[in-house]
Chains A and B, each alone.
Chain A
Amino acid sequence: AQSVTQPDIHITVSEGASLELRCNYSYGATPYLFWYVQSPGQGLQLLLKYFSGDTLVQGIKGFEAEFKRSQSSFNLRKPSVHWSDAAEYFCAVSISNFGNEKLTFGTGTRLTIIP
């Protein structure tokens, strides 16, 4: 079965510093990959997604992610974080299972920003 691993439960970075959140997936073929963000008390908002083509994808709020097939990874990056980026980040994969389009999520990474 497919799985998603986010090895970092909690990350703290200084405002203005760069950020990289790790995501690894397990699946036999190329999955569809997503990053969602969840602010406190809010629903999930899509940051970016990868289906095919260019392995570097740009998202909202200045985020980008790179798909690396050889490493089964889809890490999220931002060159300079803002205090408003403090939230929980979820990597997810979508595969087709008899037509099912469900998302399988990682356990999330909580991002804290310090001044």
Chain B
Amino acid sequence: GAGVSQSPSNKVTEKGKDVELRCDPISGHTALYWYRQSLGQGLEFLIYFQGNSAPDKSGLPSDRFSAERTGGSVSTLTIQRTQQEDSAVYLCASSSRGRSDTQYFGPGTRLTVL
């Protein structure tokens, strides 16, 4: 079946602009996660959605970052007023339930802020 998809695969933007990154999880998966992979920080958790529960936003690095998940499926990660340190690969993952299940990752969106 189809895996996790992300779009765009690459995004180049200018400092100060807003960007939106999209994630389509595996159909039927109730949990969705965003991670960031950068040279300086490695792989970092950003935010987690589980069903209709309030999302865990504890990993978001600043209030310029936000995410939503519409209809329990597609998710959008928004970065406002981008900074050069936001340059990274943003990875989305989904899983069918909580702690004991496998997270399946998408190919990522490479964000470059000039």
Residues on A lying within 8 angstroms of B by beta carbon are 32, 34, 36, 42-46, 49, 51, 90, 92, 94-96, 98-108
Contacts and interface: CB of A to CB of B under 8 A. Distances in A.
A43 B105 contact: yes
Given A43-B105, A101-B31, A102-B56, A108 B99 contact: no
Nearest to A108: B42
Contacts of B107: 42-43
Contacts of B70: none
Contacts of A90: 43
Interface residues on B, range: 20 to 34
Nearest to B45: A102
A38 B43 CA distance: 12
Interface string B74-85: 000000000000
Interface in B80-114: 91, 93, 95, 98-100, 102-108
Contacts of B99: 32, 94-96, 101
A68 to B, nearest CB: 21
Given A99-B53, A105-B43, 4 more contacts: A34-B102, A43-B91, A46-B104, A100-B48
19 contacts: A32-B99, A32-B100, A34-B102, A42-B107, A43-B108, A44-B93, A46-B103, A46-B104, A49-B102, A90-B43, A96-B99, A99-B98, A101-B31, A101-B33, A101-B98, A102-B45, A103-B43, A105-B43, A108-B42
